[in-house]
Each structure stands twice: as structure tokens, then as C-alpha cells.
């Protein structure tokens, strides 16, 4: 959730002409991370939970890629970018650990 909020704060200063472009894509990917974790937790098995964690991990990689695009285009405030990047990396590590703790797919 912290990463999602950081992404929203970072993208708030993007140009208006990016509202339906990078701004929207970045925000949707960030929301998808937390949403997939929540939806997976509500499922009935560890296997289903693991599958949704994989989707969350994929969305987190999207966030990281889109943050790099924004960085190259010099969008947003550098300090907010660093915060969003850091939280995304931390989220990725936590997801990897949680996925590993659930074991291999059966």
C-alpha cells in the first residue's frame, strides 16, 4: 500500500498530456500489486494465493519499468521517484520471500 501511495504522489506532477498514458499505466500497475495480494489472500488454497502473488510480482515489475521510463523522461520530482523506486524494490523482495515460503507449485 505504501508503494502505491508513493507512486500516486510521484505521478501527481506528470504532464497533463500523460494522464491517459504513463500516469494511468503506472498507477494501475501499482494498485494491481496490492489488489492481487489481497485477492489471493482471500482464496481457498496456498496454490491460488501463490498464483496471485505471482501476478502481483509481475505488476511490481511493470511499476519498476514505468518508473525507469519516467526517470528517463525527467518526469516527477527526483525525491519522490527515489521513494517509489525504493518501496517497489522492497515490495519485490517481500513478494519473493512470501512466494518462496509457500513452496513450489504442485
Query: How would you write the pLDDT of the chain (106 residues) with one tens digit per residue?
Result: 999 999 999 999 999 998 889 999 999 999 999 999 999 999 989 999 999 999 999 999 999 999 999 999 999 999 999 999 999 999 999 999 999 998 865 4
pLDDT in the model for residue 28: 98
Contact 84, 7 (CB under 8 A): yes
pTM score of the predicted model: 0.92
CATH of the structural domain 2-101, one choice from 3.40.50.300, 1.10.3720.10, 2.40.170.20, 1.20.1440.60? 1.20.1440.60
pLDDT of residue 104: 64
Amino acid at each position: 500500500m505504501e508503494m502505491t501511495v508513493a507512486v500516486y504522489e510521484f505521478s501527481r506532477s506528470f504532464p497533463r498530456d500523460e494522464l491517459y498514458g504513463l500516469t494511468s499505466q503506472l498507477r494501475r500497475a501499482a494498485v494491481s500489486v496490492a489488489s492481487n495480494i489481497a485477492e489471493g489472500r482471500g482464496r481457498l488454497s496456498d496454490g491460488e494465493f501463490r498464483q496471485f502473488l505471482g501476478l502481483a510480482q509481475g505488476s511490481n515489475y511493470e511499476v519498476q519499468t514505468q518508473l525507469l521510463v519516467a526517470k528517463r523522461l525527467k518526469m516527477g520530482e527526483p525525491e519522490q521517484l527515489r521513494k517509489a523506486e525504493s518501496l517497489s524494490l522492497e515490495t519485490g523482495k517481500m513478494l519473493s520471500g512470501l512466494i518462496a515460503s509457500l513452496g513450489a507449485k504442485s
